[in-house]
Structure 1
């Protein structure tokens, strides 16, 4: 059992709910995010509900790559026995159609969702390689299954890159003690998508994250969550001809 779990982007949304659900399982937690006040509030709530666990918090901007390495190393010394699972969850949903004058938004999305995730994966693997053990979880999205248009183009590309990064590590580490999971959430309500028009496929945060946590606990290599309807829909998205895909989305 993975007892000591680090979650980035834990101040709200999926990250905060993962923290709640892992805390309920008795896991020790390290929570990072830019909004330290929210982390402190979450830590107090978790300890009040589950006084037997340890929860540490660190303010971290994942685009500060040096800080990512330093923070991960520090946290590894703060939890007894060190980290044995790291969930790379921090991300943003900004974006604009390419060529419309908003390169700044697309660049920020690319830097936060992929380059910063790469730094987190590097920092995690540095710790895990040293002890030849651990579980790296990379949170992608069903948006990463296929290229998507307009404001989502760059976001989808970053999530596809996350999936590829995970698969490369899985191939390298096949049969070895270090495990790598790629999680592809479907539409799960969070602060990230509050501005998006309602969809009949969206599920509540608690329900959606429960499916994520189950996949993480099972250490699945690749998981579309919730299973229904995203396992069949991901297959359709992956193989549909472009004209059909355009009609579907």
Structure 2
């Protein structure tokens, strides 16, 4: 099935902008939202200039403003005449070692990556139920598979929650009409991973996004991307005692 009208949150940079470019190249219509509307406007101009036959609608959205999520989703759906796929991508990577006194950083990570994701999920399911079909995509992380000590502890917990939501929904909608996909990226070049210490495991944005989009298009239930080396690394990560998982973060 071709999902022609695709909504992406957190689309102003990184993986969100990369997916927008990849789907635009496939001729899809896009609904893009993020906090930085100036970047969205630049991305819209780029995509419509390169692919004049597609439609691109943009809107400012802070996903932590929960009341605005259904309003903005509805506004974008009206502009495109409906939405066939929603990619819950908006997230942050800040965090601090638990107990370091920087509760604000860890709280922000949990609120943005998990609580706001839940609000987007609820909104998407309501829209798709009314429409009779749809494809919900949750962008999680390979770190959602295991707790990690240090500054990524809250981030890993937030992504574990996202993956769990996706697993629950796959069971809920096993017979349709809504399809659910969870994407667990490894380290892909973006603003979020710019300060990562795991540069040896990093792939460029274009390569990583291409594999993400391929998995999304297949509507796979769960996909670890890039498959190499992350599929075997995730299997190893699950077996390691927690004190040995820090290098993966």
Instruction: Give the TM-score of the pair, scaled to structure 2.
Output: 0.97
Between 227-236 and 190-199, report the one with greater CA deviation: 190-199
What's 2:35 paired with? 34
**Structure 2 vs 1, CA of residues 37 and 244 (structure 1 numbering), >3 Å: closer, same or farther?**
closer
Name the counterpart of 1:124. Answer: 124
Question: Which deviates the most, 114-123 or 68-77?
Answer: 68-77
Secondary structure of the corresponding residue to residue 192 of structure 1? coil
Alignment correspondent of 1:179:
179
Question: Mind listing any 5+ residue stretches in structure 2 that lack a counterpart?
Answer: none
| Helix, strand or coil at the partner of 1:26 | coil
**Residues 247, 122 of structure 1: CA spacing in aligned structure 2 closer, same or farther, 3 A cutoff?**
closer
- Length, aligned pairs only: 248
- Structure-2 change in CA distance of 1:49 and 1:248 (3 Å): closer
Separation of aligned partners in 1, 2:242 and 2:178: 37
Offset, 1:76: 1.4
Q: Which residue of 2 aligns with 1:21?
A: 22
Q: Per the alignment, do residues 243 and 158 of structure 1 end up closer, same or farther by CA in structure 2, a change over 3 Å counting?
A: closer
Q: Which runs of 4+ in 1 moved over 3 A?
A: 241-249
The alpha carbon displacement at 1:240 in A equals: 2.5
Quote the residue 2:201 is aligned against.
Answer: 201
1:219 shift after superposition: 0.3
Cα separation, 2, equivalents of 1:70 and 1:236: 42
In structure 2, distance between residues paired with 1:55 and 1:48: 11
Q: Distance in 1 between matches of 2:59 and 2:242?
A: 44
Q: CA RMSD in A?
A: 1.2
Quote the offset at 1:211 in angstroms: 0.5
Residue by residue over 1:36-76, the C-alpha shift from the partner in whole angstroms, topping out at 9 and shown as x without a partner, is: 00000000000000000000000000000010011111111
- What's the counterpart of residue 135 of structure 1? 135
Shift of 1:243: 5.0
Preserved contact between residue 63 and residue 90 of structure 2 (Cα < 8 Å): yes
Q: Using the alignment, how far apart are the partners of 1:109 and 1:60 within structure 2?
A: 17
